[in-house]
Each structure stands twice: as structure tokens, then as C-alpha cells.
Structure 1
Amino acid sequence: MGRFRTTVQALLAVAASIVTTSAIGVRPGQIKNLVTFGDSYTDVVFVWDGGDPWPVYTSRYAHLDLIPFARSGATCSNNITFRPFPSLFESQLPEYFSQKGSLRLAPQETIYTLWIGTNDVGANALLTGNDDASIVDVSACMVNWVKALYESGARNFLFQNMIPLQTVPMYSPNAYFNRFWAEERNATAWSVFMTELVLSGNAITKLMLEALAPKLPGAHIGLFDSHALFTDMFKRPSLYLNGTVPLNVTGAVNSCVFELHGSSSNCVVISGSAKDSYLWWDELHPSEQANRIVAREMAASIQGKKTRWTTWLS
């Protein structure tokens, strides 16, 4: 058993070395167009952060043309975790393919991003039970987004993994009845299970992306570690938040405490520059200031700059 473990560790080290030495990413000044897919964390139509969403900031910071397809409420596929919203595979990708000819995006000058999973693993999906799907199915679906776009001619990808959802007010151990869930539940159990779902899903997608990268000639695949970034923002908010009231990583700018079954609510909305002291906009979504940080780091990655949050796999 000891020799087997040593051999496996050696092989993993070699594989990691191969990925590291061959991963060059995109070149500075190469990317001109940003095409986004995902859920409410990326939607630029129904915005959930009290201001401008991160893709808008990223397009400004990196001087990019933004072509957005992300839609609020989305999962990767309604055939895996059904929700009555425009999913990635049944709605967003078909919409992109229908417009592809008129968009005329040069493959080498265009980067595609995906940030999804919050709805897939959340309430009314994997967290509360789905007999027909698992986190493995959801992860495979996410990675298949790269394959589908590559086969259509896309070559540059930036994959954003799931944030530590157990730290958002909705899924924290101290969660209260809110606009997203006003029914009985064991908040501690939800938080523990959410931690496992997110960590497992992120680990699986990373392994799948690492296995996929060598099979796609000419592709550049980057993994943006949203989980690590938000973990750092949660633990060291003074490095990221800059509002005019004490920094807050457990509450929300726009919070609504509901009674059981949502019969009534008590809502509080923080205004002005104080908003930038908060990590969360509401019980589920990052604040505008948090999204400015995401945008800054995404822009740096897209511009070919070195950032601790992005690893290029090819």
C-alpha cells in the first residue's frame, strides 16, 4: 500500500508539473471580447448587487466589448436540476449559437466565462434533495460547457468555481427566514452540507478541466478560484471592503427577516457609501464592492497579467 501511494503521488506530481509548465494562458492585449454565461451572479439585466455587475466593471477595466448571456435563476441544465429559469444548456448556449453568425467574434480575440452552480447546489436543488442527480452530474455539465463552445470554434475560456456558499447569510449556521427561504430547516445541517457540496463540486470540476485541457488543441483554459477569493474576503475584509461603517461579512446591505412561511417581513436597506462595507448585497448575492474585486481580478487575468486567483491549465 505504501509503494502504491508513493507511485500515485509521484504521478500526480508529474501531471501537475506538465500542466504548470505548458500553461501559458492568454497574451497581454490579445482579448477584445468578453462573452459571459452563468446565473444571477453574472446577469447584467436583472442585477443583484445594488449597482453595476462584475462583467460591466470588467469590460471597463480591461477595455472589452461585453456580450452577456448569463441569466438569473439559471442552473447548468434543467435536465439535471430543474428550475423554471433560462438554464445554461437549454437556453443560454442555444441563444449564443443562434447569434454566433451575426456576432462575428474572432476566436483568438474572444474569451468566454462561466460562473454557475449556486442554484444547482442550493435550496430546491441538490441541497434539499434530488433523486435523479448528484454533484458529479452538475460538475460534468459545467465542464461540458467548454467542450460545446470549443466545438463551435471558441478557444479561450475562464471558468469561475463556486464561492464558499456556507458563508452567505442564506446558508450560514445562523441563517434566518428570508426572501429566498422562509420555511423550517436545520441551518447548521444546511451549512455543513453546503460546505461539502461546494468543495466536492469545485474539486471535481478542477480534475475534469485538467483532464480536458490537453485534449483541446489551441485552447487556453483558465480556472478562476472564486472560492479562494471569497474566502479571503470573508476572513480579511479590510483588504477588500472600503465603506464608511464597520466592515460586515455576515450581514447584508439589503436584508429581510421573514416570519415563518413568509407571512410578513422586516427589511433594512443600507444606503450611500456604507454599502461598500458589506460583503453581501442580500442573503444570497455578493455586494457591488465584492463584485468590483471580482471584476478587477478577472480583468487582470483576461489582460494576461499574473493574479493569484487564476491558474491557466493550457
Structure 2
Amino acid sequence: MRIDDALAWANGELQASSSSDLDAKVLLCHVLDKPTSFLFAWPEHELDDTQKNTFIDYVKQRAKGKPVAYITGVRDFWTLTLKTSPVTLIPRPDTEVLVEQALLCASTFKSKTLDICDLGTGTGAIALALASELPTSHVLGVDFVADAVELATQNATLNRINNASFRQSNWFDSVGDAKFNLIVSNPPYVETNSPYLQQGDLRFEPDSALTSGEDGLEDIRNIIHLAPSFLVDAGALLFEHGFEQGQAVRNLFVQRGFSEVKTVQDYSGLDRVTLGYWKI
């Protein structure tokens, strides 16, 4: 089977998916351990039997709906390559907006040595992206799931990041009396009965990392209530949230006493990140 034949076959198998062409290329690049440019430069390249059988298996898994990131076990995020696992959410491009906003907040501090906390760190994507951009700061990532903490630690090693550490904790429960300049979180924010849970990749991702009560705001509400005890003066709290939750999250910030509260849109122009400062 040649590369061009393999891609044509895969597109036929994945025809129900709007991303079939991209999925096929990502899977084949992973099997060949080659960049996308190789597929275009060498369409006549023959797959050996092992590569062919592995690619067929991967495509059949994807045809059943399994996310590409769970099939390959990796996902690129920011400038990093991260291991993935079904125990955590798959890092998504829109979450990079949260990283961008956190870096803007970081730039407002005179000190170059900041303490940052990432709540519900999962793969460690947010924590590690911030740590890579702020090498003189320290980032603590916490997660309730022990396997997620182990995965994030592996991703720190994989990306040679030494200024991030990870700890098992139910939000702030195991943080002690630490104080942070920035607290960031991509918490569960999907409504428990949301129809989106039965669509696409969400069918395979852990509900515990997705849902948060009837309105999807249970965890955000809890974090906003607790966060001031763990922020320095003029410290910032930032969330990723659902595209219809911007106003509700802003209201929660204001009611708790945060200032300079604002919502930032993602790359599709939808509300995605809301932030506020404590005692500025």
C-alpha cells in the first residue's frame, strides 16, 4: 500500500467525519514517524506490512469515533508535545487563549519570579505551557485524579521543563497556605444533561473532567469562592468556560469582589476565557 493509496482508503473509511482528511494524515504521520511534508513529497512511498496493519487498525478505531489523540497517545499544544490518556481531557487549541491571557497577566507583575497554580491540570498542558514561557517562575499543577498527576509529571520530563511540579489535590485541598500571583483553570463546565456529551470526542472523554452540575458552573462557583485565600494582592484568577457562560462567570467574579473582570473570545469569536483581579 502506497501513501496516496492509504490516504484515499482512509478518507473512504472516515467519510462520516468532517475532519477525515486531517485525521488520516495525522494517523499516517504517526505510523511512519514522519512530518506531514513527507506525505506530499513521497506519495509513492510503500508502507511495510507492520505500518500498513497499524494504520488500518488506527483508521478503524477512528471510524468508531475514538479520538485521534487517544489513538496516537500524543497531542501538540502550544509549543509542546504531550502524552494523552483517557483519564484526562484532550488539550484543545482554544485553551491556548487561556495561556495567552495568563501570560498577559503575568507581564503586569514587576517580579519575574511568579507563583502560578493550575487547577485540574489534566495532561499538564496549561501548567507546562506557562512554565515554558516563564522559566524563572514556578508552576504548581493539581488534579484530583492520581493518574493525571502522573501523566502531567511525565509530560514535564518529556518536554524538559523543570519549573513545574504536580500534586494530587481536590482543587485547593492539598495546597496548604500557598499564595499565588496567578491561578488558572480549565475546569469541568458542561451541564450534566447536555446533549453535547453524546457527540464527537466527548463520548470518549471522562465525565468527571467535563460536567459540573445542572448549569455547568458548580466547580467555577466553588473555585471563585475559595481562590481569594490563595491569591496575593493584585493576583489574577482565570478560567476557560463554555461559549454561553461568559456573562454568568463575570457575575460570579463581581459578586465575590474581583475587579477588572473581563471575558476574552476564542479564535472563533466566542466567549472562552474570563478573568479578574483580587484587591487591585
Considering Cα pairs closer than 8 Å and 6+ residues apart, tell me whether 1 or 2 has the greater RCO: 1
Provide TM-score, normalisation by structure 2: 0.37
Between Structure 1 and Structure 2, the one with more strand by share is 2
